[in-house]
Amino acid sequence: MAQKYKSVPVKPSEITPKDVYLSRRDFLKQMGIVTAGAALLAACSTDIPAEPSTNVQPDTAQSVDVSSEELTDYEAAINYNNYYEFTTDKEGVAKLAQDFKSDPWTVEVTGLVNNPKTYGVEDLLSGFTQEERIYRLRCVEAWSMVIPWNGFTLASLLKEVEPKSEAKYVRFETLLDENQMPGTKNRLYPWPYVEGLRLDEAMNDLTLMATGLYGEMLMPQNGAPFRLVVPWKYGFKSIKSIVKIELTDEEPLNFWQEIAPNEYGFYANVNPNVDHPRWSQASERRIGELSRRETLMFNGYAEEVAYLYEGMDLTKFY
Ligand code: MTE
């Protein structure tokens, strides 16, 4: 496994502690932090409080002044479970998702493939080599975590269905079930949640179909039973609770592109040199830490993925 992270390896000290990750709410209470209204706004909301796009100072240099501002940002981060199908209330996702039925479940793999197939839970859990991968997760909103995921490579699944030569992209779709997912009653959003990758990105060894985290089965709020994890891209590309994977010859339009095409692109590669139109991407808040960290190009995975974008203008907002 070590060779997979050779660009900038995740150090053990970087791993977001399980209790912090799993019990954001409890952790928040322990810290005695009261959630402000602004902190309840969801990750990719067009209403999020913008961070300054310039002059982002490391916290260490700002002590008192920054602490109140940073605590607001920090509390927003530790309440994060971005799963709009349930709610845009960061603290509300886990509770609303607790009875979510993720078994039985099927994932249809279809489109431009020689062997289309619909997989059940057991097919995916036992049919592919399960691994643990420790990845950084960098949200477009400039918070980050380091999570040990369990899962299998998307490439191993795609090889089995055999993409046809015309297949250039992979389109993913999340379950849409109004009875279980109250947030989907909000017609302002273009449900179902859709994401997409270029086929070569999907085939990259880093691209994971996650089935668990911290050695346990995925929890509903994290996208049970199967979600994508694409660690060099902003978190919104890591689509949850997938029911359909379709190989296509057209670039899929993703959920956030459809909502705000001026702010979210198809590629969404982590790039500290290209700001979001409303905030800087140069640094990030690591959950559980008070200091900001510099954001790394491709989230630290340049060695594994930079070749995919040769010839592309990376200063352009994609
Ligand atoms: N997938 C679906 N179906 N719906 C969502 O709202 N949010 C995305 C991504 N996958 C989202 C989704 C965003 S913006 C982020 S940052 C990550 O999930 C957050 O994953 P986490 O809650 O497990 O930390």
Q: List average pLDDT for each run of 10 residues in the chain, which is 318 residues long.
A: 43 61 42 27 36 30 25 35 89 89 98 98 97 91 88 98 98 98 97 98 98 86 95 97 98 97 95 95 87 93 96 80
Res 316: pLDDT: 73
190/210 Cα distance (integer angstroms): 24
Res 79: pLDDT: 45
Q: Residue 42 CA: which ligand 1 atom is closest?
A: 14
Whether the upstream peptide bond of residue 52 has omega within 30° of 0, thus cis, is: no
85/185 Cα distance (integer angstroms): 8
Res 272: pLDDT: 96
pTM: 0.82
What is the best residue among 44, 82, 222, 263 to mutate for testing ligand 1's pocket, by most ligand atoms within 8 Å of CB?
Answer: 82
Res 63: pLDDT: 21
Residue nearest to atom 5 of ligand 1 (CA): 83
289/140 Cα distance (integer angstroms): 18
Q: How far is the CA of 107 from the centre of ligand 1 (A)?
A: 18
Res 73: pLDDT: 29
Res 183: pLDDT: 98
175/23 Cα distance (integer angstroms): 25
Domain ranges for the chain: 8-316
Res 38: pLDDT: 25
- CATH superfamily of domain region 8-316: Oxidoreductase, molybdopterin-binding domain (3.90.420.10)
Q: How far is the CA of 88 from the centre of ligand 1 (A)?
A: 11
Task: Report CA-CA distances (Å) from 287 to 7, 179, 216.
Answer: 22, 32, 20
Sequence-separated (6 or more) residues with CB below 8 Å from residue 31: 75
Pocket of ligand 1 (CB under 6 A): 43-44, 80-85, 139, 174, 193, 222, 235-236, 238-241
Res 233: pLDDT: 97
Res 146: pLDDT: 86
Res 202: pLDDT: 98
